[in-house]
Chain A
Amino acid sequence: MAGWTIHQGRAVHLGLDNIDTDQLIPARFMSTPRAEGYGQFLLHDLRSDPEFPLNRHRDVSILVAGRNFGTGSSREAAVYALFDAGFRAVIAPSFGDIFAANAVNNGLLPARVSDDAQAELAAFLAAEPAEITIDLNTRTIALDDRTFPFDVDESWRTKLINGWDDIDLTRQHADKIAAFAACRAFSEPWVFPTASD
């Protein structure tokens, strides 16, 4: 995964709360191998309306959404759909916990903003998308002459900037993990299952 620090792109506003994972990608598309690309499935059923913002505006890479974005299932395919459609950040007042973790694991920023900032961004983008700049170093969103702060877990910020892969990081701790497992097997042997039938 490639890291990034500053992203400049056109932002589109999606004026809806509770965009759930089943809307982000309906279940029927999830058997597709990733290599085939998931962008075409993004918000598939909402896009049957030709006036839906993502149909009217292509060339966008930042989504401004309502509260509780990505609520619902653990399907990482919801993030694949956003990422493969070119998105690098979603700006919203709150996110589903699992969705946000999945996003960071794929280089997509879940940027949490206050309700007021969300409302201002929404008003600014109401008519059409506009160019904005997201800076992970300063945790700010800049558009025109205005700047809004955003929140993201510090460890996630570092991960996004460095494009770190957890498996590589974890394997540095192999000795500690092995020692922990041995200790657990000794103190609570029953946690290691052996079927009795």
Chain B
Amino acid sequence: MNWIETIKSALDSLVERRTRSLLTMLGILIGIVAVILTVGLGEGAQGKVSSAISSLGTNLLIVTPGSVSTGGIRGGLGSSSTLTLADANALNSKVDCPDIAYVSAVMQKNLLLTAGSANWTAPVQGVSPSYLTIRDRQVVSGKAFTQNDVTTHADVALVGSTVAQNLFGFSSPVGQTMNLAGVPFTIIGELNTAGASANANQDNTVLIPVTTGEDLFGARGPYANSVSSILISAKSSSAMGAAYEEANSLLLQRHAITNPSQADFTITPQTSLLSTATSVSKTLTVLLVGIAAIALLVGGIGVMNIMLVSVTERIREIGLRKALGATPGVILRQFLIEATVLGILGGIFGVAIGVIGALVLPHFVSQPIAISSLAITGSVVVAAGIGLIFGVYPASRAARLSPIDALRSE
């Protein structure tokens, strides 16, 4: 009996028991859908995290106050204020730090903004002009502030699109005036839309010259002249290591720290943020795929169960086929094909439903789901393999049946 005839006969027999075949396939199908969606979710989340971190800027080093490696009582990151504007200016020296291209101090405070009758609360950041270059932001209308504005402590501001919309609706914010903590600022430019980053909406922001920021919220209290972070952009990605070393030694020297492990600041390369974030989502993906694999395994056991029932039910048919000249090999092949076809059909329908799910679900759960071609082809192959593997035992039982016993059974 050739392959085509065997496959036809297997299909006939599956169609004849169509309810049971469908239910058996359902087991495989659910497993495959689970694999496709979890792999898609994992890849989607990974993509989202890495693009969010990349959007922070290129070749970025972030200096934050506080440390992660000293003994004794330590506060969390950012809980102390050991970085100053002078540190930032020192890092900008081309002599001490030749591999650093741009430096911007960042001072940040959430403030109430008012313009006419509208009000809105947003993080206001005092930054250097190079901040826009470091973070890869553009001014889409109006103009950016300059070093001169920094020097003169100018009361000028750049606003993100979220702030602009909440204060001025759809009219242009450029040239308008808004009050920050009672001080009137002139809006000289609007920033491009950048979307949400890892933890914040980058469009809900107000940028002012760093010196003005110092006046506005840094002038009094114990943290006078302290900045919340310093952003450093290395000259190239290959210069990241050198820039890190230069910044580290300069800050240690300025803070008069001899033992590097006692440092009162932390420098975090953007790449390490990226790898931490992606490794977390990778772990999660592995876990989810593991669960999906268990679902597939259960589906495979379902196939085996149904094939065993089918062998018992068709014992006389098997006996007859053997009497008519079917060799054990032909019987084995017939049942293996039936089990494999169950697996493949379950896999194909599973992929179809999984892909539809990956297209539809993001509209409801606001999580991107990547459609991975590897997961799709892999799923169908795995489903066929599961049918085949779990079909071996029932099929070999059928093949070993003695024709006499099989024909005799009622």
A and B interact physically: no
